[in-house]
Structure 1
Amino acid sequence: MDGGRDGERLAASLGRHLARLTFVDLTTDAVTARIIGSVLDWASGQGWRVYRRAPSVLPLPPPLSHQRSVLDVACARPDGPPVVVEVDHTDRRRTWDKLAAEAAAGRVAVWVRWGPGRHAVPPPPIHLVTCHVDRRNGPAGRLHTRTPQPHRPPPEHSPQGAGSAAVVRLPLPALDDPTP
């Protein structure tokens, strides 16, 4: 199977799984742990062997270069190359480097980015999955919430047609102007 299409398919599947994730007023660390737990559930549901904090092919920077960096989730699949997943709430260049090294080693690299707003798009062959999370300042720091987005139909339009509205002359007179 084409690694790019396989990665796109897996990222879309993981994105659908994460779309069901909800929580209210969690800390940054708790949100990351909750999303990693959901990724573990998704991968286990695929029938894969799943590893938490698996060693990466990328060494740590000096002076720890004799040690390996770790991955949030690594998955061994019987029907394709391994899948590795990193979960972050910030755009870290180190994450890009780690996932690029994993992809170069033949793994499908997926980056789950969570938080409000837009997320930087990593270069191919890294596959991005976004998870929108709202944040607010709480009494003890930042708190994060993810609630399902209800389907809301578009508002009904006025029964009046555009031609039946009253014509108003512009500019409008100032409130203290006595002329009509």
Structure 2
Amino acid sequence: MHVTDDGERLAASLLRRLDALTFRDATTGEVDALIIDSVVDWARAAGWRVYRRASSVVPLPPPLSGRYSVLDVACARPAGPPVVVEVDHTDRRRTVEKLLAEGAAGRIPVWVRWGPGPFAPPPSPVRLVTCVVSRRPGPAGQGRRYSRVPADDRPPPAHSAATIGGADQVTLPIAVDHVPPR
């Protein structure tokens, strides 16, 4: 299988896993942790070795020279190139640069973006996996809260308060066939 096809297949598989993820009123950090845990579970279910906060191929800028950036999740597979995953709720240029460098090093880079969307596609070979959530303001000074609920658990839409207009009641004739008792 070609690496590009493998990347597309892996991204689709991870998307299916994340589609089952639900939560209510989570903070940014809680959503990041839930998604990373789901990525780890997905990779372990595939039988891969999984590393959280794995070292990237991208060196950090001064004054941290000699150290390397980290990846949210890195996966070693028995067959095929490694898979690296970054999880973000913002569109970070540094994340794209890191994932492009990982792709150039022979890894399959996957970027999990979460939020209300829309999400701009990253350049190839980075694969985008989205996790759409709703957001609302949290308690004063505590940031936003995010939710992702199953489709069948969503509240009904608000009804219009507008009056539709009056209608006269009409008595309809109802024909009933009379069947005599036996």
Partner in structure 1 of residue 149 of structure 2: 147
Once residues 103 and 119 of structure 2 are traced to their aligned partners in structure 1, the CA distance between those partners, rounded to angstroms, is 20
Structure 2: where are the runs of 5+ without partners? Answer: 155-182
Once residues 92 and 49 of structure 2 are traced to their aligned partners in structure 1, the CA distance between those partners, rounded to angstroms, is 27
Please tell me the residue identity of whatever aligns with 1:4. T
Partner in structure 2 of residue 92 of structure 1: 92
Partner in structure 2 of residue 106 of structure 1: 106
User: CA RMSD of the aligned region, Å?
Assistant: 1.3
Partner in structure 1 of residue 5 of structure 2: 5
Please tell me the residue identity of whatever aligns with 2:128. L
Partner in structure 2 of residue 28 of structure 1: 28
Tell me the number of residue pairs that the alignment of Structure 1 and Structure 2 aligns.
152
Deviation at 1:151, TM superposition (A): 9.9
Please tell me the residue identity of whatever aligns with 1:78. P
Q: Percent identity?
A: 68
Deviation at 1:131, TM superposition (A): 0.2
> Secondary structure of the equivalent of 2:152?
coil
Please tell me the residue identity of whatever aligns with 1:145. S
Please tell me the residue identity of whatever aligns with 1:122. P
1:45 correspondence with 2:45: yes
Choose 1 or 2 for highest CA Rg. Answer: 2
Structure 1: where are the runs of 5+ without partners? Answer: 153-180
> Secondary structure of the equivalent of 2:151?
coil
Aligned structure 1 segments of 4 or more residues deviating by more than 3 angstroms: none
Deviation at 1:87, TM superposition (A): 0.2
Once residues 113 and 40 of structure 1 are traced to their aligned partners in structure 2, the CA distance between those partners, rounded to angstroms, is 16
Deviation at 1:130, TM superposition (A): 0.3
Q: TM-score, normalised by structure 1?
A: 0.82
1:128 correspondence with 2:109: no
